[in-house]
A and B are shown apart, each in its own frame.
Chain A
Amino acid sequence: GENVEQHPSTLSVQEGDSAVIKCTYSDSASNYFPWYKQELGKGPQLIIDIRSNVGEKKDQRIAVTLNKTAKHFSLHITETQPEDSAVYFCAARPGGGADGLTFGKGTHLIIQP
């Protein structure tokens, strides 16, 4: 089955700086790669996603890049703000008719004032 690795597990950045979180996946048939933000005591919230036929997607301060050849994808947050502090998860949807998402173990992003 699919295996998703996520790094780093904790990331501390100064407010206003950029943050980058990286994930790799194992199943070359995976076709959809979302990123979720989870705040304490809440369910994961989708913040951006990318499909396998696209290399990059941007939404205001957030962008995701996908390298299918290397099987890795990354989340980029620019001009970080205190409200960006949370746990971020990457995930991959397998191909081949299966459903559900395989998640990375999460990155705790801390924005230092």
Chain B
Amino acid sequence: NAGVTQTPKFQVLKTGQSMTLQCAQDMNHNSMYWYRQDPGMGLRLIYYSASEGTTDKGEVPNGYNVSRLNKREFSLRLESAAPSQTSVYFCASSAPLAGGPYEQYFGPGTRLTVT
């Protein structure tokens, strides 16, 4: 049981390049999330998916797209990377539907630098 896995661990992009961050979970969770973490800012929600086939915007969705490929996988795409997207990206998953449980479990993160 690996929990939440993310690839790659590190990535360097040039401004304007595109890339997809991959996330998978093996806990049979319904909900998956993407957050970014910047120094002194805590974690901020980019997008989430409450179930396969659905996605919703979080606090900071601009410049990103997501795909819930199946119940296990949730990817985050940067179509045209900008230096402001330099950050550490975390994927998380949780079981819940209405009534909980709400515990979110996080992956190890992807450290992205855009030059």
Contact = CB atoms under 8 A, between A and B. Distances in A.
B100 to A, nearest CB: 7
Interface string B30-67: 01010000001111110010100000101100000000
B10 to A, nearest CB: 11
A43 B104 CA distance: 11
Contact of B56 (A44, A91, A99, A105): A99
Nearest to B98: A97
Nearest to A101: B104
Nearest to A33: B102
Contact of B107 (A1, A43, A49, A93): A43
Chain A interface size, under 10 / 10 to 19 / 20 to 34 / 35 or more: 20 to 34
Main secondary structure of the interface of A (DSSP, over half): strand
Contacts of B107: 43
Interface residues of B, number: 24
Contacts, number: 57
B106 interface: yes
Q: Is the interface of B mostly helix, strand, loop or mixed?
A: strand
Interface in B59-115: 59, 90, 100, 102-109
A34 B42 contact: no
A51 to B, nearest CB: 7
Interface of A: 1, 4, 6, 32, 34, 36, 42-46, 49, 51, 89, 91, 93, 98-106
18 contacts: A1-B59, A34-B102, A34-B104, A36-B106, A42-B108, A43-B4, A43-B90, A43-B106, A43-B107, A43-B109, A46-B103, A91-B43, A99-B31, A99-B50, A99-B56, A101-B33, A105-B40, A105-B41
